[in-house]
């Protein structure tokens, strides 16, 4: 009898994880694209403030995003659906890698493609509109994301292995009508290119 109860509790637990992932994927799929401004707060594991920043985010599904960090330093992270371009003007540094290599930007891959193979690497837990994504591989980042039933993302948090948290609060959102011009990057002259594509 005890074995049956343990088995039932495991099945219920697995079902809850699966249901939460389905709900999150369905909500994200409701919006083809959006623009938002964001405020960033970076805290240590014991909640000490490290850094504050702000910027803008354009998303168009699948796999297109433009993440502009305006403060404290200007950085652009742009996906054209094939490659990711990371440009920091202050040091004239430009890195390009294929979308499949983008380990540090996995949350954006999850947000921009609810059908991405990356989803199979995460378990999802839900508390109303708040979702926690735990990696099956413990060496990866974990995430928290708040998504309303309409598909609008309110905020998300990137949690590093050491417990450091980068919290992004979204505002001034506009859904739909995002032009493809936001997802093209042309390397400025004189910039050193670190091309990491295979």
93-140 per-position pLDDT tens digit = 899 998 877 766 788 888 888 888 889 999 999 999 999 999 988 767
SS3 (DSSP) at 4: helix
Residues 40-43: contacts with CB under 8 Å, at least 24 apart: 40/69, 40/166, 40/167, 40/168, 41/166, 41/167, 41/169, 42/164, 42/165, 42/166, 42/167, 43/164, 43/165, 43/167
pLDDT digits (tens, 9 = 90+) for 25-72: 999 999 999 999 999 999 999 989 999 999 999 999 989 999 999 988
pLDDT over 80 at 13, yes or no: no
Rg (CA), the chain: 18
Is the whole-model pTM more than 0.95?
no
Average pLDDT, the chain: 86
- Residue pair 60/177 in contact (Cβ under 8 Å)? The answer is no
Q: Residue 187: what are its φ and ψ, rounded to 5°?
A: -65, 125
For position 65, what pLDDT does the model report? 94
The single-letter DSSP state of residue 118 is: G
The answer to whether the beta carbons of residues 113 and 62 sit under 8 Å apart is yes
In this prediction, residues 73-92 reach a mean pLDDT of 90
User: Are the CB atoms for 67 and 37 separated by under 8 Å?
Assistant: no
* pLDDT for position 56: 96
Question: 110 with 116: CB under 8 angstroms?
Answer: yes
Contacts of 89 (CB under 8 A, 6+ apart): 74, 188
For domain 2-195, the CATH architecture is Clam (2.50)
């Amino acid at each position: 009898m005890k074995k049956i109860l343990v088995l039932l509790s495991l099945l219920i637990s697995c079902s809850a994880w699966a249901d939460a992932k389905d709900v999150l994927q369905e909500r994200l799929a409701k919006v083809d694209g959006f623009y938002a401004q964001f405020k960033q707060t970076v805290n240590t594991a014991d909640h000490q403030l490290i850094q504050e920043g702000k910027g803008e985010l354009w998303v168009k599904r699948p796999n297109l995003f433009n993440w502009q960090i305006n403060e404290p330093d200007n950085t652009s992270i742009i996906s054209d659906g094939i490659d990711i371009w990371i440009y920091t003007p202050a040091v004239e540094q430009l890195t390009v890698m294929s979308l499949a290599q983008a380990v540090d930007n996995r949350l954006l891959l999850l947000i921009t493609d609810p059908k991405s193979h990356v989803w199979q690497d995460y378990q999802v837990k839900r508390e109303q509109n708040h979702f926690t994504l735990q990696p099956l591989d413990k060496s990866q980042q974990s995430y928290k994301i708040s998504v309303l039933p309409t598909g609008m993302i309110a905020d998300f948090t990137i949690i590093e292995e050491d417990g450091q948290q980068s919290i992004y609060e979204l505002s001034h959102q506009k859904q739909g009508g995002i032009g493809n011009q936001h997802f093209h990057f042309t390397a400025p002259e004189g910039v050193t290119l670190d091309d990491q594509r295979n």
